[in-house]
Structure formats: structure tokens, C-alpha cells
Amino acid sequence: MKKWIPNSITLLNLFCGCAAIINILDHQFVPAFWFLFAAGWFDFGDGLAARLLNVSSEHGKELDSLADMVSFGAVPGVIYYTLLFIGQSSAPASAPSVTWSWYAAPGLLVVLFSALRLAKFNLDTRQTENFMGVATPTSTVFAVGLMLIYALDPFGWSAYALSPWVLYPAIVAFSYLLISEHPMFSFKIKGAKWVGNETRIIFAVLAIALLIGLRTAAFPFIVGVYLIINLISPPQSSPT
């Protein structure tokens, strides 16, 4: 019976991802953000519950990947699709129609590469401490950040969030990064020591500074800092 506790948390992640997609397609971007925020906590909580209860299983692992495919795989693709659709629409206040839009369709490439990423992650034994390539939640945070810039427009940058000159390169870049072999540090801090956690602590400080300075517009820049740090200085295994 205990095994259903983490599985139930995983299903809450899946529910929130589905709810976020519905809200995005209906242009309810702020509620979509909160559903994704909850999905992130549920994604963290199911693994924590499984470890505390000592009930981890292959079934739970596969269920977690299926939930992540929706919340952190389908969602960013839907965000890119919707932003591109709005950007080329003459009536930006209206939700996308059922009619297919070739202009916005490339946004869904991120969904395909997220699926490849998650399938690879389940079989890759190298990704226990750090990641190989960008994790799907990181890709989602960037897309969500663009969505919030458009929806809340705290600095008058909404036009950039709809620009194909921003969206198309982001789609291509993250589609590649999701399946790349470049090592990326995870956010697992082991112990309270500086040694072995230097990169994570520095990144956390920079992320907090960006949140304070840019508020809801900070998320794409936080992801950008994360990528720059990893490209400049790939992570090394922590000392044992």
C-alpha cells in the first residue's frame, strides 16, 4: 500500500501538467504557471516519498517519466506553439483555433526531443549525479519564462517573447541540448560543504539576484546563466 503514496504524488504531477496545457491553450498563462509550479514540487516530492518509504520500483520510475513527458515535455512545446501562433495572428486576444498553423508547428519539435531525452535518461547509468544534456524541467523553465514575459510584461519585453527571431532559435537550441552529451550539473547539494558544491552555490546566488532584479522576467536569464556556467566549466564528480 505504501508504494501508492509516491505514485499518487506522480499522478498529481501529471494532472497539473494536463491542467497547464489546457490553460495555455486558453491563454490563461498565470494559472498555467501555478499548475507547473505545483507539478515541479510533485515531481520532487514523489522521489522524496519513495526514498523515505523505501518503496522505489521500476513501475514508479516509468510512471514518473510518463508524467514528466506531459509536464516538462509537452508543456514547453505547447508554449512555443501558442506564442508563435499569437505572434502571427491578427487577433492576439483570441485562443488558437483548431486549424493547423504551419508557422507555429515547429514549436512542437521540443516535445519530440523531450521524449527522446526521457527515454535516454531512463537507460543512461551515467546520470546519477549530474546530467548529460539539459534536463526537461530546465527546458520548461525557459519556455515558461517567455510565457510570463508575454503575459505580465514587467519591462515592456512582450514583443520579444512573440518574436520568431527569439522563439525559433530557442526551439532549435533546446531540441539539441535535450539530447546532447554535454555534462550539466544537477541541483543535488550533498552536505553543507563549499567543496564539491561551489558551482551549485554560485549559480543559486546568481539566480536569486536575477529573481530580485527581474522578478517574473528572470527565468529565461536564469536558464541562460545555467547553460553558460556548464559550457564554460563542465561539472566534475563530487569528491567521495
**Cα–Cα nearest to 21, from 106, 80, 66, 97:** 80
pLDDT of residue 55: 77
Residues 163-217: tens digit of each pLDDT: 999 999 999 999 999 999 888 888 776 656 666 677 888 899 999 999 999 999 9
**Cα–Cα nearest to 68, from 50, 44, 52, 48:** 44
pLDDT of residue 91: 46
**Cα–Cα nearest to 149, from 103, 86, 206:** 86
Q: Give the C-alpha distances (Å, rounded to integers) separating 37 from 16, 32, 72, 79, 196.
A: 9, 9, 11, 15, 28
Q: Give the C-alpha distances (Å, rounded to integers) separating 125 from 44, 184, 185.
A: 20, 15, 15
Q: What is the mean pLDDT of residues 206-231?
A: 94
Q: Work out whether strand 183-184 and strand 131-132 pair parallel, antiparallel, or are unpaired.
A: antiparallel
Residues 143, 93: Cα–Cα separation, whole Å: 20
Higher local confidence (pLDDT), 146 or 58:
146
pLDDT of residue 78: 95
Three-class SS of residue 184? Answer: strand
Lowest mean pLDDT among 48-52, 79-83, 127-131, 214-218: 127-131
Residues 69, 17: Cα–Cα separation, whole Å: 9
**Cα–Cα nearest to 147, from 71, 206, 103, 86:** 86
pLDDT of residue 52: 80
Q: What is the mean pLDDT of residues 53-74?
A: 85
Q: What is the mean pLDDT of residues 136-149?
A: 96
74-99 b/e (C-beta count within 10 Å ≥ 16 → b): bbbbbbbbbbbbbbebeeeeeebeee
Q: Give the C-alpha distances (Å, rounded to integers) separating 32 from 53, 72, 145, 155.
A: 31, 13, 12, 21
pLDDT of 239 above 50 = no
Please name each of the domains of the chain with its CATH number. 4-184 (1.20.120.1760)
Residues 95-125: tens digit of each pLDDT: 555 455 677 788 899 999 999 999 887 776 6
pLDDT of residue 46: 84
| Bridge partners, residue 183, by sequence | 132
* Arithmetic mean of pLDDT over the chain: 86
Interacting residues of 127 by C-beta distance below 8 A, sequence separation 6+: 121
pLDDT of residue 94: 55
pLDDT of 35 above 60 = yes
pLDDT of residue 92: 47
Q: What is the mean pLDDT of residues 233-237?
A: 66
pLDDT of residue 163: 93
Cβ atoms of 86 and 153 within 8 Å: the answer is no
Cβ atoms of 144 and 33 within 8 Å: the answer is yes
pTM over the 0.95 mark = no
